[in-house]
Amino acid sequence: MGKLAWKSFTLIEIVIALGVIALVLPAVFSIFFSILRQQLVLLSYQEIKYQGDSAQRNIQNILQNRAAFITDSAYAIVDCPLPLTPTPTYSPDLYIEDRSQGFIHLYPTPVSPTPASGTAYIIASDSADTNKTFLKTYDLTSKDVTISNLGFSCHRINEFTPDIVSTRYTASKSAVFNDVSLIYTFNVRLRDY
């Protein structure tokens, strides 16, 4: 009767096998994480494009539907300069007289609580008219997408033309190992003058 003989791996075989695994595994994982990272960057771009466009439409709607004049911070004088070829100097604040003689202050303000990833921005408006005191906030984006460098500028072609508000901001999102962002710049011509 034959005796069952167990054939085990030799040390050199195990060392070679481990060496091969040690070479292959990092390569496989690096490829896997590269794809994952790229996919996250793509998703982030899609998200900031969607929310950045949405923020643009929100600001355009506020300006086109409600604003009559751009004023100074005391809501006292019309304060839109008249350069023919303006070089915009962006300010984070925009003071507006609306169509019903109310006043709106557009400015970026951190949401509360501030998200850990950075500072998100919303636009708030208020009224200097005590009969119409209100504070309304417009969420430009969700907390995942950050609006930064929000700035407004104003100019007119001549004193008989409506105010033109230039707006600029950067929509960004933190992806793994990458910060992705898109810059938005657009002008809005106010309807009343």
Partner 1 sequence: MKKSFSLIEVLIFVTILSLFIITSVAIVTMSMHQNTERINMLKAVHYNEQLLEWIGNEKEVDWNAFIINAGDNTYCFKTDDMSWSGPIVLDKNNCMSTLGGMYRRYAVFNTSPSLDQVEVTVYTEWQEGGNNFSTKLETLFTVWEN
Q: Which residues pair with 180 in a beta bridge?
A: 173
Q: What share of the chain is helix, strand, coil (3-state, %, to 5)?
A: 30, 35, 35
SS3 138: strand
Q: Is 15 exposed, middle or buried (0-12, 13-18, 19+ CB in 10 A)?
A: exposed
186 binds partner 1 (CB under 8 A): yes
Q: Which listed residue (78, 111, 124, 182) binds partner 1 by CB under 8 A?
A: 182
Q: Say if strands 94-98 and 67-71 run parallel, antiparallel, or are unpaired.
A: antiparallel
Identify which of residues 176 and 183 has a Cβ nearer to partner 1 in the complex. Answer: 183
Residues 48-107 that bind partner 1 (CB under 8 A): 49, 85
Q: Which listed residue (9, 17, 33, 39) binds partner 1 by CB under 8 A?
A: 39
Identify which of residues 142 and 178 has a Cβ nearer to partner 1 in the complex. Answer: 178
Tell me the C-alpha distance between 66 and 4, whole Å. 92
- Residues whose CB is less than 8 angstroms from the CB of residue 143 and which lie 6 or more positions away in sequence, other chains included: 111, 115, 117, 120
23 binds partner 1 (CB under 8 A): no
Q: Which listed residue (31, 74, 82, 176) binds partner 1 by CB under 8 A?
A: 31
Identify which of residues 133 and 185 has a Cβ nearer to partner 1 in the complex. Answer: 185
Residues 132-171 that bind partner 1 (CB under 8 A): 157, 161, 164
Identify which of residues 111 and 182 has a Cβ nearer to partner 1 in the complex. Answer: 182
Q: Which residues bind partner 1 (CB under 8 A)?
A: 7, 31, 34-35, 38-39, 41-42, 45-46, 49, 85, 157, 161, 164, 182-189
